[in-house]
Amino acid sequence: MRDFAKLRSLVLLAVAVSLVGCSSFSQAQKTPGSADGQHWWQSAVFYEVYPRSFADGNGDGIGDLKGIESKLDYLEQLGVDAIWITPCYPSPQVDFGYDVSDYENIDPTYGTLADFDRLVEAAKKHHIRIIMDFVINHTSDRHPWFLDSKSSRTSAHRDWYIWRDGRANRQPPNNWISGFGGSAWKFDPSTGQYYYHYFATAQPDLNWRNPAVENAMFDVTRFWYKHGVSGFRLDAVDLLLEDPKLHDNPILPGKDEMGSPNMLNKYNDKLPENHQVLRRLRSVADESDAVLVGETYTDSASELKEYYGAHNDEIQLPMDFMFCTVDKLSAPAFRKQIALAESTGGWPTYVIGNHDMSRSYVRYGDGKHNDQIAKLMAAMYLTLRGTPIMYYGEEIGMENNDPTRKEDVKDPMGITGWPKYKGRDGERTPMQWNGSANAGFTTGKPWLPVPSSAKEKNVESEWKDPNSILQFYRQLLMLHHRNVALRDGDYVALNQDDPNVLAYLRQYKKDAVLVALNMSGTAQQVSFNLSAEGFTSPKASTILTTLKHAPGDRIDQIALEPFAVYIAQVSP
């Protein structure tokens, strides 16, 4: 079940001599000797950009496409291969772009279509691909399709949305609840029917049972492929189709943080029919060698597995949000989630944060060792098998800056959920570029406030500091691209009973990398036996660690400081 509010609450630097001094590299260098048949998106690191908050090019306090373009050098040097830009289409901005009123243009706040084309070209020169956000489940209530749909019961677009008569006594058609609080139905007095909206009332759901909707939406993807995008992140893709009979959902005990009764979304979430649409959407993507990334809120390995498609013909990168339900540092809990992702047989897609959940820096931090823990988390998800998706600012240890007064809240979820749920503004604050006022994000007044921690946590100062979170990310990204075992190797769980240290081997033929992560606040002594993996007298050589003194070449006695990261190449 998708539930941001719940997810939120659950939810000697490197000895890598060979890495030092490499400030930039070309795409070709990033994938030397890639295993046969690897797709570009498998060796890529994705980076989510929330355009309102990334960089402001014109001083109006809101980020824009020119701002993004001005930061391509940074993104390339960091080692990012693709940026996913959250919606920048024309929109009334009720849900900050997730309410689209025109799928084939750019909102003037962010620039023009010509700016977009220039961004794609410039990004290409930096070996960076652009992924757009496809808001596939719903449009804005100001979209011309909806305006026509709403105009009369017989309008050409009436059946493009989900209209139904109410029940007796002015009751909505059924008991479905909106993820943004309250009933998922809104009465329209002019035509006397209700329309369905899983999210805000300004976000009516499209009727994907209507082939005209499918055609129009598939054409939208073709439009952007022609403009050079390399794929889409599919927004709210679990919610595409609904039960045509509109059965009531089973009610569960208690209330959610938006104050609505808890509910099992049996009849409007992850219906089997969604997969038919995805297969057809994928065929269109395949014509352009494009990637589909899914906002897939799954509850089990089998649900996640289904998203890849029975013949790998649906979503290439369904995000594994079950991973994010591990809400504290716990070696056994992460081990279990990794095993679950591996058990699907698919190519995993790991994230530790995004614009809908509290920043990983605060979710996992203990308040005292947050920087170390941020490095530990990075070392985990950037060395696992699969494609990682970073969230802007995570690489500098950005923290949440939640509103403290209701009148400051911008997110519609925070407005409804206040004070229990303060919404998502806190994880969407401006990127921290330097220690100046407004963190160098804008010369104007930023649309959301910058936290005081930006004085130390910013790109400029961390770039210079070899011990910073940023430099640690940079080295991890280089390893991720250059190390064959990390890029293409199998995942082999090690020391599976260890309650404190998460350890695994990434093995590609004779190449192997050992990763040991102390998820506890106490020193740990670990010992590895790799004979089952064919290493009779293994020798380790450290490639990246946070340990003050890198251990010798033996793997039968490694001392790990609290929250330590130890990554070593192992030879047989």
Residues that bind ligand GLC (CB under 6 A): 95, 98, 135, 199, 235-236, 295, 355-356
Residue 58 binds to Ca ion (criterion: CB under 5 A): yes
> 168 Cβ partners below 8 Å, 6+ apart?
none
Residue 64 binds to Ca ion (criterion: CB under 5 A): yes
The rounded distance, in Å, linking the Cα atoms of 443 and 59 is 5
Per residue, the 3-state secondary structure of 26-68, as one string, reads CHHHHCCCCCCCCCCCCCCCEEEECHHHHCCCCCCCCCCHHHH
Q: Least distance in Å: CB of 319 to ligand GLC?
A: 10
Q: Which does 356 bind (CB under 5 to 8 A by kind): ligand GLC, Ca ion, none?
A: ligand GLC
Residue 234 binds to Ca ion (criterion: CB under 5 A): no
Q: From the candidates 219, 248, 286, 287, which is the catalytic residue?
A: 287
Residue 553 annotated to the active site: no
Q: From the candidates 107, 235, 256, 371, which is the catalytic residue?
A: 235
Question: Considering beta carbons, is residue 391 or 441 the nearer one to ligand GLC?
Answer: 391
Interface with Ca ion by CB under 5 A: which range of 51-59, 254-262, 452-460, 505-513? 51-59
The rounded distance, in Å, linking the Cα atoms of 339 and 331 is 12
Question: Considering beta carbons, is residue 352 or 501 the nearer one to ligand GLC?
Answer: 352
Task: Using DSSP, state whether 243 is helix, strand or coil.
Answer: coil
Provide the residue type at 462 as one letter.
E
> 245 Cβ partners below 8 Å, 6+ apart?
none
Residue 287 annotated to the active site: yes
Residue 62 binds to Ca ion (criterion: CB under 5 A): yes
What φ, ψ does residue 294 adopt, rounded to 5°? -110, 135
Nearest to 448 by CA among 457, 456, 438, 440: 438
Going through 87-199 in order, the beta strands assigned E by DSSP cover 129-135, 163-164, 185-188, 193-196
Q: Least distance in Å: CB of 355 to ligand GLC?
A: 6
Residue 34 binds to Ca ion (criterion: CB under 5 A): no
Residue 525 CB coordination number (10 Å)? 9
Residue 148 binds to Ca ion (criterion: CB under 5 A): no
Question: Considering beta carbons, is residue 59 or 192 the nearer one to Ca ion?
Answer: 59
Residues in contact with Ca ion, counted by CB under 5 A, come to a total of 5
DSSP 8-state assignment for residue 69 = H
Q: Which of 60, 159, 303, 490 binds Ca ion (CB under 5 A)?
A: 60
Question: Considering beta carbons, is residue 9 or 58 the nearer one to Ca ion?
Answer: 58
Residue 550 to residues 122, 349, 541, Cα–Cα distance (Å): 41, 31, 9
Question: Considering beta carbons, is residue 52 or 355 the nearer one to Ca ion?
Answer: 52
Question: Considering beta carbons, is residue 7 or 45 the nearer one to ligand GLC?
Answer: 7
Q: What residue number has its CB nearest to ligand GLC?
A: 98
Q: Least distance in Å: CB of 207 to ligand GLC?
A: 17
Site residues (vs Ca ion, CB under 5 A): 56, 58, 60, 62, 64
The catalytic residue positions are 235, 287
